[in-house]
Homo-oligomer: A and B are copies of this chain.
Amino acid sequence: MSNRKASVDADPADTPIDPPADPPRVAGSTGRGKGRQGDVRLNRDVVLRAALDLVDAEGLEALSMRRLGNRLGKDPMALYRYAENRDALLDGLTELLLDQWIVAKADDASSWQGQLREAAHDFRALVLAHRHVVPLLVTRPLSTPMGLRPLGALRPLEQILAVLSSAGFEPADALHAYRAYYGFLIGHILNELEEFVVNPDEDELGLKLGLHRLPKKDFPHLRELAPMLLNYDGEAELEQGITILLQGLEAQLRSAPTTD
């Protein structure tokens, strides 16, 4: 996988975190002389958090069982007690993230529109804080058939349905509304992340040059947009979109008590 850098020497995730100087694997003596860092018992949460850290810091490709194990000061195989698979571990990651998305806060007494609007912004903030996990968020569900997804990943769905339901949507309509809502959210996030350039200073040039590279007779409109692509305000764009969407839902709610 792109080999990253080959053996430069000290890669942040290749060494345990807590004790800075300590041979991670001594082979012979199986931690008899106090395995330090390795002594803390693992549990699912610790593993998942470490995985998320690793992904946040170095991207999805950096998350291998070996590297994760190393970071926890444990043998890679130890992880399999808490995640069965690498795939399951990835599912765990999405769960860990979605679990932090609280759609209907307890003390929130605002309108359903207000709740959905706030939830959308929360979602954006949450996800932007862990951009590297986004691919998981959109691809994992494609291979896990809904009913079999981790509970934590279904809770937001349920909560949104609850909000919509108490707003007066019939079940079927609530489902449609949910799809529109979540589809929009995901679509927006993908859009925003595509626009995102890692290093603005350097990449402003890179982007312009990139677009400059386009044959100007084949891509007139696209090239004209170059300046606009550089100051993209995701927050504003989301707000604008969600407003339109909520208006649409409102209209639908007022007009037809039942559909399909």
Contacts and interface: CB of A to CB of B under 8 A. Distances in A.
Interface of A: 2, 85, 87, 134-135, 138-139, 141-142, 145-148, 151, 154-155, 157-158, 161-162, 165, 171-172, 174-176, 179-180, 182-188, 190-191, 193-195, 197-198, 203, 206-214, 218-222, 224-225, 228-229, 237, 240-241, 244, 248
Given A187-B186, A190-B183, A210 B147 contact: yes
B151 A206 contact: no
A213 B154 CA distance: 12
A206 B138 contact: no
Contact of A219 (B158, B186, B244): B158
A151 to B, nearest CB: 7
A157 B224 CA distance: 13
A146 B228 contact: no
Contact of A138 (B179, B190, B240): B190
B193 A188 contact: no
Nearest to A1: B86
Given A142-B190, A183-B187, A171 B248 contact: no
A225 B180 contact: no
Given A147-B212, A151-B218, A184-B187, 19 more contacts: A135-B139, A139-B139, A142-B190, A145-B198, A145-B206, A147-B214, A148-B206, A154-B214, A155-B218, A158-B222, A161-B221, A162-B221, A171-B221, A171-B228, A176-B240, A179-B191, A182-B191, A186-B190, A248-B248
